[in-house]
Structure 1
């Protein structure tokens, strides 16, 4: 009875203040699934089976690749692909994100180093980093050691942080850590810009190298006048400060045309490419930097 009551209480809390919930078998199944998911995440961390998919960012005016984002994916042995929206909230609640983050960072840097040695142009490899990861005392040491071991220059790496991390800086010492990382040559990007609570004082070219406009302002921008004004304002702000900018979530030709008209030509989204596994990403990149890459391959075969 107490277990049933606890399940109902947990469900009511998820619904928000002033809500109530009754026990049901569905609640039990949900709890059982969540417990199994926690255990499966532990196993995936131990066996390092989380995968990294890659989604490129390009300039619409030049066609040049400006970067490529590393995204965590999980192919469960029994359930197949489990979406990040399903397992990441559980991982965050259980404190697993620092471990998952290090797996993603390591795999992303290793793959980028391989591309670099092959002469494949990828701009910079961008990795999402949470405040939980940055609060780890040895995060910067781990990052530099991973870059050195892989043989990738710090200038080839970008860390994407959200606005809430900036607000947490003064209490946790994250700001000093980010300055240390940036001083070594790693670029910093403010992700999902426009959706958080950071003030304009945090949009500082001495602290941030690029802004990523959140996808909710990009989708249907060709039909939404308010979104057009918001993206134009962000673009002009970034240009005035000398900060690079990229629009996330561009999915249609009409959206690309609107972004071009505004002057925001760095884009990422399904209209450019879907997130791809390692082998497909390499093929995609090689098709866009074939001469240099083929020369490196030829040199290797003759060595």
Structure 2
């Protein structure tokens, strides 16, 4: 596995300098072809690219071995496999909690798709989401996760646990669907939930489009209905400020690349402080993704970030485990100071 990153500056015609970066992940098929299926190669390349983006720290290249998940040793899921998985409720959400950094309250949760395969066990998203797209079942996936997430909100309330909102990820194809708003309203009505209980999570790279695009129209329509709009992976698109200017955004989800090892990186601290200040000026809330250590949590809390999400708070978990986690978390004397101990 090879991770490569290059960064240089280009001078534009007006004399301005723009820093341009490129990264590449390569999984060597010579060592994988006899052992792993094609999706393992893709998995390795994606992992490499992530390494280049987050771990190289100025180095030109890095090589290492990879260990694909056990599920990637099988063939790509067929359309029939996926249809059966949906029919049998094998694909369902796990929930990752989000907490306030000011008082420790549970302020939300993000729904993340997982496949509970009857013979392969837990299949990670990278091993089946591309197959879902190829089988043209993405809308089925979104409707399944949306339905189960809103149902989970009701179940949590019945258990005496109030979670203000659940975040559901919507892909570009979802946002371009002409019946999206109707589908969401129907689902909310089915569980007697107000629109403000749903957080529509959209990738920054998806919404940075023409102002008249169906995506922007859908996002703004959902915002007018009262749904919360979370701009996911903020800081990764080419022009993040355009989306803030033209969309009804409620909260910026700060990409984990800003957070990783932030306690050891003063430049990252300065960058995050600037992002938080900008959000405050725009009356936007903020949530830091990828919190893994208590040191990272303390730094983002000190810099004024509003909420936190990550393995250091709680891993994605099925609903029954989330209920147990939430009950323990709420009973802790100072939950906002030591959430990692309960994960």
DSSP-derived class of the 2:263 partner: coil
**2:215 pairs with 174, 199, 203, which one?**
174
Equivalent in the alignment of 1:207? 248
Give the number of the structure whose residues are more often strand, by fraction: 2
DSSP-derived class of the 1:127 partner: strand
Equivalent in the alignment of 1:280? 321
User: Structure 1 pair 21/283, CA: closer, same or farther in 2 (3 Å)?
Assistant: closer
Equivalent in the alignment of 1:40? 81
**2:191 pairs with 130, 146, 150, which one?**
150
**2:201 pairs with 149, 155, 160, which one?**
160
Deviations 1:73-96 (A, max 9, x none): 111111111111211123234332
Does residue 227 of the first structure (1) align with residue 233 of the second (2)? no
**1:57 pairs with 69, 87, 98, which one?**
98
User: Structure 1 pair 138/100, CA: closer, same or farther in 2 (3 Å)?
Assistant: same
Unaligned runs of 5+ in 1: 1-14, 291-303
User: Structure 1 pair 253/96, CA: closer, same or farther in 2 (3 Å)?
Assistant: same
Give 1:54 deviation, angstroms. 0.9
Give 1:118 deviation, angstroms. 4.7
DSSP-derived class of the 1:201 partner: helix
Which structure has the higher relative contact order (CA within 8 Å, separation 6+)? 1
Separation of aligned partners in 1, 2:197 and 2:29: 50
**1:125 pairs with 158, 166, 171, which one?**
166
Separation of aligned partners in 2, 1:21 and 1:79: 23
Equivalent in the alignment of 2:68? none
Equivalent in the alignment of 2:20? none
User: Structure 1 pair 189/83, CA: closer, same or farther in 2 (3 Å)?
Assistant: same
Q: Is the 8 A contact 1:212 1:247 kept in 2?
A: yes
Deviations 1:199-251 (A, max 9, x none): 31321496100000011110100112222122111111101111000000101
User: Structure 1 pair 75/104, CA: closer, same or farther in 2 (3 Å)?
Assistant: same
User: Structure 1 pair 256/36, CA: closer, same or farther in 2 (3 Å)?
Assistant: closer
Equivalent in the alignment of 1:101? 142
Equivalent in the alignment of 2:126? 85
Q: Is the 8 A contact 1:253 1:271 kept in 2?
A: yes
Separation of aligned partners in 2, 1:282 and 1:25: 42
User: Structure 1 pair 126/169, CA: closer, same or farther in 2 (3 Å)?
Assistant: farther
Equivalent in the alignment of 1:191? 232
Aligned Cα root-mean-square deviation (Å): 2.8
Separation of aligned partners in 2, 1:118 and 1:274: 21
DSSP-derived class of the 2:84 partner: helix
Equivalent in the alignment of 2:15? none
Q: Is the 8 A contact 1:50 1:75 kept in 2?
A: yes
Separation of aligned partners in 1, 2:33 and 2:251: 48
Deviations 1:59-106 (A, max 9, x none): 122011121111111111111111112111232343322211110011
TM-score by length of structure 2 reads 0.72
Equivalent in the alignment of 1:11? none
**1:238 pairs with 262, 266, 279, which one?**
279
Equivalent in the alignment of 2:66? none
Equivalent in the alignment of 1:5? none
Give 1:47 deviation, angstroms. 3.1
Separation of aligned partners in 2, 1:271 and 1:248: 10
Give 1:166 deviation, angstroms. 0.9
Separation of aligned partners in 1, 2:278 and 2:144: 35
